[in-house]
Amino acid sequence: MIIHVAVTLKEIFRLGRNYRWQRPKCCPRCHCFKVWGHGYHDTFFEGYESAIPLKRWRCPQCGCVICYRPKSHFCRFQTPIKTIRSILFSRLQCGRWPSGFVRCRAGHWLRSLKRRVVARLGNTWQGGLLAAFDYFMRQGQIPVSRSI
Ligand SMILES: [Zn+2]
C-alpha cells in the first residue's frame, strides 16, 4: 500500500537512512496501532544522481506493507508533479517545449493526457487539457499515466 507523505526529497537525499521518518499512526488496512519499520526502497528521482531511500513499514497484524512516497511526485514518476504541469503548460500556451528538457518524456505525458481526456471525458470536453489535468488530480488520478 502506498501512502503519499509531505517530505522534502532534498532533505532525505542529504540524510539518507538517517532521515527521521514519521511513523504511520496506524495500519491503513486493519487500523492496528503498531506498525514496524520494514527497510527502505531505493528510488530514483529527477535531479538526483543516486537513489533516495524511501521508508517502508509493515503491519505485524495483517502483514500489510506500507511504502512511503513523496506527495510531490506521482507513483512511478521521477519528475515532480509541479514540473510536469508547468512543462505541459508552456507547451500548450506557447506551442513549443521549454528548452533544456527531455522532450520525448514530455511528449509521452502529453499523449497520455490527451488519451485520458478522450477516454474519460469524451470528445466533447471543452475545458482544455490543463483544466483536465487539474480535474484528474482532484479525482486522485495520474493525469499523465499511460494506463487509462
Ligand atoms: Zn494491518
pLDDT higher than threshold 90 for residue 98 = no
CA distances from 48 to 8, 77, 147 (A): 13, 13, 26
What are the distances in angstroms from CA 93 to CA 29, 88, 101? Answer: 43, 8, 17
Q: List strands edge to edge, sheet with 36-43.
A: 2-5, 65-70, 52-58, 36-43
The rounded Å distance from CA 30 to ligand 1 centre is: 4
Contact call for residues 60 and 86 (beta carbons, < 8 A): no
pTM of the model: 0.86
Ligand 1 geometric centre to CA of 41 (Å): 20
Query: In the prediction, which pLDDT does 36 show?
Result: 96
* Band of pLDDT at residue 100, cut at 50, 70 and 90: confident
Predicted confidence (pLDDT) per residue in 67-94, tens digit = 999 999 999 999 999 999 999 999 998 8
> How many A from CA of 60 to the centre of ligand 1?
7
* Cell of residue 110, nine digits: 502529453
